[in-house]
A and B are shown apart, each in its own frame.
Chain A
Amino acid sequence: MKVANIAHGDFVTIGAYASYWLFVLSGVNPILSLLFTIPFGFALGAASYLTLVRRVVDSPELMPLFMTFGLSTLISSLLLYLYSPTQRGVPISFAPLDGLGVILPGGVAIAATYAVVAAVALRLFLQKTFLGKAIRAVMENRASATLMGINPGRVGLISFGIGISIATSVGSMIVLLQSFTPLMGGDFTLLSFVIVVLGGLGSPIGALVGGVVLGVVENIASLWLNAAVTPAIGFVVLVIVLIVRPYGLMGSK
């Protein structure tokens, strides 16, 4: 099963809107709204799997790409229709962290903590639990996994649910960092492709490391380079890493 999800970033947007409305309508703190966006994302992911993804799982790679591209357009258009292209933000701020000569905005500290917790939890889940091992088995060899008594359809549904629940919960964290529009998803999808390939496919810790590397390189480069060029830096790093370590920083051959 190899599905590259073009709509991944749009599920981040959905999470951001969910947290936004929870805040605006009932004053729920975005951190607390994780309790909603995580299960909500799982349900959305499971529903997308059952209605759409399942049909293209066994097709050539281009089919899932087209399908999720369509899903991406559907989600962003729907959000535009419902909520207009107005930029929105959650007016909430947290006390900055000050230490070691660095002042870290509170929202950034919280989001970064969540990223670490999510990556570590996902890795532990994949490495230590029976279900996690079954997911890795299906990823590596679907036919063999079936011979173990594993139902690959069920594993696909759960994997997709988990993936989307991470995306929507990240949306809850994004609102701590920036304002957003229905169209921001594409930027996240692009970034996440760079980060995941940089870190190594199939490795949550790799994704974390890839994200940090990309962020640091982009920011340092911006000291010398025109801000218009900095987004390209990520891709330069990506190309270099792929030449030196084609399986990514933390991935296995």
Chain B
Amino acid sequence: MSAPLLEVSNLQAAYGEATAIWDVSFRVDRSELVAILGANGAGKTTTLRTVQGVLPQRAGKVVFDSLDIAGLPANRVVEAGITLVPEGRGLFSRMSIEENLELGAFTKRARRNLGKNREFVFQLFPVLKERRKQKAGVLSGGEQQMLAVGRGLMSEPRLLMLDEPSLGLAPMMVVKVFQTLGELKKEGLTILLVEQNVEASLEIADRAYLLENGRTILEGTADEFRGNPTIKESYLGL
């Protein structure tokens, strides 16, 4: 078996004095969809931000494709092949949809295939093509999330990380978001997903991790998670 695409061991990170994650370890294999689950404040977002290099890590190892990326600034991590679709989407709302997508392809590597990738994104989300000249700020919440995912794909990520992509969306859009992630996984994309919607996440995930108080406390396949009594009780409401 080949080495995992991303391997995080004993990651620790803090906002100033306040330690947000103490000991987080997980791995993501190629073409796998891995979900990180946990309650509010468990450290899920912090974990993604630290892997991306937005937040400096205090201890631990982050190895991406046998390359030690710990301590690299976020823009270099994007160049290495990891793209984060942040919570709240972080769109450039005063710029057009088309410009948002172009900025997604800012790295030299992605810029070469800008046209091809844009076609792919437009196929995935036809509404973005129809409204390509409009400002991102006028889109509905669901459309904005599509744009955020589309913009992430424009960077040709080898690992796409999504932070709460279904947060605040209408139920129909939530279904659409998870459908899309399922399709992308079938295309062979490697995905790391942080979600509150545990049930829908376990539907499409291969494996999952549970975070509690900044520590990974459980690891297993999606099926194992669905069968786990703690998970059932605390997160699935069964």
- Kindly list chain A residues whose C-beta atoms are within 8 Å of the C-beta of B79: 149
Among residues 99 to 124 in chain B, which have CB atoms less than 8 Å away from a CB atom of chain A? 99, 102-104, 106-107, 110-111
Report if A143 contacts B (CB, 8 A).
yes
A149-B54 CB under 8 A given contacts A137-B95, A141-B90: no
Contact of A149 among B93, B94, B95, B107 (CB under 8 A): B107
Contact code string A105-142 (vs B, CB < 8 Å = 1, else 0): 00000000000000000000000001001101100110
Q: Is the CB of A140 within 8 A of B86?
A: no
Q: Is the CB of A149 within 8 A of B86?
A: no
- Kindly list chain A residues whose C-beta atoms are within 8 Å of the C-beta of B104: 148
Identify the closest chain A residue to B110 (Cβ): A149
Q: Is the CB of B99 within 8 A of A133?
A: yes
Contact code string B82-104 (vs A, CB < 8 Å = 1, else 0): 01101000111111000100111
- Which of B52, B93, B102 neighbours the largest number of chain A CB atoms within 10 Å of its CB? B102
Once the chains are docked, how many angstroms separate the CA of A12 from the CA of B221? Answer: 65
A144-B78 CB under 8 A given contacts A133-B99, A149-B107: no
What is the total number of residues of chain B having a CB less than 8 Å from a CB of chain A?
Answer: 26
Q: Is the CB of A143 within 8 A of B90?
A: yes
- Kindly list chain B residues whose C-beta atoms are within 8 Å of the C-beta of A134: 103, 106
Report if A228 contacts B (CB, 8 A).
no
Q: Is the CB of B92 within 8 A of A149?
A: no
- Kindly list chain A residues whose C-beta atoms are within 8 Å of the C-beta of B84: 147
- Kindly list chain B residues whose C-beta atoms are within 8 Å of the C-beta of A145: 92, 103
Report if B155 contacts A (CB, 8 A).
yes
Contact of A144 among B90, B110, B111 (CB under 8 A): B90
Report if A87 contacts B (CB, 8 A).
no
Give chain B nearest CB distance to A44 CB in angstroms: 26
- Which of B54, B93, B103 neighbours the largest number of chain A CB atoms within 10 Å of its CB? B103
Q: Is the CB of B90 within 8 A of A136?
A: no
Report if B75 contacts A (CB, 8 A).
yes
Report if B74 contacts A (CB, 8 A).
yes
A150-B106 CB under 8 A given contacts A130-B111, A133-B99: yes
Once the chains are docked, how many angstroms separate the CA of A134 from the CA of B111? Answer: 13
Q: Is the CB of B95 within 8 A of A146?
A: no
A140-B95 CB under 8 A given contacts A130-B111, A147-B74, A149-B75: yes
Q: Is the CB of A136 within 8 A of B91?
A: no
Contact of B74 among A130, A136, A146 (CB under 8 A): A146
Report if A252 contacts B (CB, 8 A).
yes
Q: Is the CB of B106 within 8 A of A130?
A: yes
- Kindly list chain B residues whose C-beta atoms are within 8 Å of the C-beta of A143: 54, 86, 90
Identify the closest chain B residue to A144 (Cβ): B90
- Kindly list chain A residues whose C-beta atoms are within 8 Å of the C-beta of B93: 140
Contact code string B49-76 (vs A, CB < 8 Å = 1, else 0): 0001010000000000000000001110
Q: Is the CB of A133 within 8 A of B111?
A: no
- Kindly list chain B residues whose C-beta atoms are within 8 Å of the C-beta of A148: 75, 78, 103-104, 106, 151, 155
Once the chains are docked, how many angstroms separate the CA of A7 from the CA of B73? Answer: 31
Contact code string B193-219 (vs A, CB < 8 Å = 1, else 0): 000000000000000000000000000
The chain A residues found within 8 Å of chain B, CB to CB, are: 130, 133-134, 136-137, 140-141, 143-152, 252
